[in-house]
Amino acid sequence: MTKAWTSNHLSRRSFGKLAGAAGLAFGASPGRFTAALADAPPDSAAIIMGKASGLTVHNAALGVMETPLAMLRKHDHTPKDILFNRLHFPHEGDAAWYATTAVPERPDWSIRIDGLVQRPRTVTLDDLAKMEQVKRVSVLQCAGNGRSYYAGKEKVAGGQWKNGGMGNVEWEGVPLRPFLESQKVLPGDGAHWLTAEGWDQPATPEGSDFAKSYHLADHALDNAILALKMNGEPIPATNGGPVRLIIPGYYGNMNVKFVTTLLFESQQSPSAFQSVGYRMPLSPVEPGQFEANDYTIYNSRPTYGHQIKSVIFSPLPEDKPKSGAIEITGVAFNDGTAKITSVEASADGGKTWQSADIKPPESPWAWYHWTAKAQLTAGNNVLMCRATDALGRTQPMDGLARWNPRGYEWNGVDRVEITA
């Protein structure tokens, strides 16, 4: 199959360069603001114990780091030492225990089920471990993954993520709905939301606690688990152990780490992480017309399921491929509610497209591996890929159409510029 789409806009990476030349990007304006880092840049391995060296650090104090694609592509299941990381509060003092990929030593962990219920209950880690366990292989992806590419329209505040804020992870734990049923907490008629809260705490008393709420009618909860294992071992502390709520196909922040509390509630949580942060506007917005403080629960929605997305793993610019016949490889995924039916790849900036061979995924929420044949010409080549699913959902040719002031849910057609 060959399709012709015109590509008359700059690639997002060219945009980035232009933005830098205009002094928009940090460090691109000599003499003004070049020596930002007083100390040597922190290495990922020194920030979270057990992490590999060489991850791209976005914030050391919050343990925020992403995986360079050259590391990510080596594994089908992303190992804990290279999986991207994102904590919401400083991993210091009382919270230092979760700044490690080691398994937390928290045998007395328990979860309180409370709220609009007749019989609140406390369930221990031992109780959970004795229950039926199921596996869920799912892509875990930061809602901000790809944020830096929105700079093609206007740079947005926050960590400038490329595509490495994702991984393909095997989780194992107790299915959520049967678990809640079995506890017989007897929710009242007014209970419409389930709120999950984690152990982590803000640094100041005025800060919002981390909490996420899900409508009880949300079908995604049918597949949710209270996970006790990640990639076959107890969940590493930094990944949310000993218990993490995993909703397969949902963006990372929806998968609450260090779960201590499940609340049946009439309303969603007032936590800023639910009501203001990690949200997408309900209709398209433009820079300057809708700012990051304009979000309400009425004009926006939480970052629920992954937007359909595909990413090129090979070749990357550092592979320095030669001209001639090549294979373009990568992964694709969505929220798991429909099969990905097509991945198309282009080596000429979108003039012609080849249908890629897609390998069946391990689960509806796992990533699909795909391969497409292409010809590289000597000089510059623009590689692109685009996934489509059985519901007809596909990636926008211009991801900037989904620009939003918090820079979430980037899923524009992926572009990699290669010199052969």
Site for other proteins in 3-42 (CB under 8 A): 19, 23-26, 29, 31-33, 35-39, 41-42
Position 315: which residue type? P
Grouping H, G, I as helix, E, B as strand and the rest as coil, residue 48 is coil
Q: Which is nearer to other proteins, 209 or 348 (CB)?
A: 209
The residue among 129, 235, 132 whose CA lies nearest residue 175 is 132
Grouping H, G, I as helix, E, B as strand and the rest as coil, residue 95 is helix
Binding of other proteins at residue 282 (CB under 8 A)?
no
Quote the CA–CA distance of 236 and 55 in Å, as a whole number. 18
Site for other proteins in 193-222 (CB under 8 A): 197, 199, 201-209, 211
Among 70, 97, 133, 348, binds other proteins (CB under 8 A): 97
Q: In 91-100, which positions are buried (b, 16+ CB within 10 angstroms) versus exposed (e)?
A: beeebebbbb
Site for other proteins in 390-419 (CB under 8 A): 405
Q: How far is the CB of 261 from other proteins (least distance, A)?
A: 5
Binding map of other proteins across residues 129-158, x = CB under 8 A, - = no contact = -------------------------xxxxx
Q: Which two tokens stand for residue 404?
A: 């939003």
Binding of other proteins at residue 62 (CB under 8 A)?
yes
Q: In 103-141, which positions are buried (b, 16+ CB within 10 angstroms) versus exposed (e)?
A: bbebeebbbebbbbbeeebebebeebeeeebeebbbbbb
Binding of other proteins at residue 93 (CB under 8 A)?
yes
Number of residues that bind other proteins (CB under 8 A): 75
Query: Which single residue is written with the structure tokens 């990639």?
Result: 231
Among 4, 10, 21, 61, binds other proteins (CB under 8 A): 61
Binding map of other proteins across residues 226-255, x = CB under 8 A, - = no contact = -----------x------------------
Binding map of other proteins across residues 289-318, x = CB under 8 A, - = no contact = --xxxx------------------------
- Using CA atoms, how far residue 261 sits from 122, 123, 129, 194, 211, in Å, is 9, 10, 17, 10, 9
Binding of other proteins at residue 190 (CB under 8 A)?
no
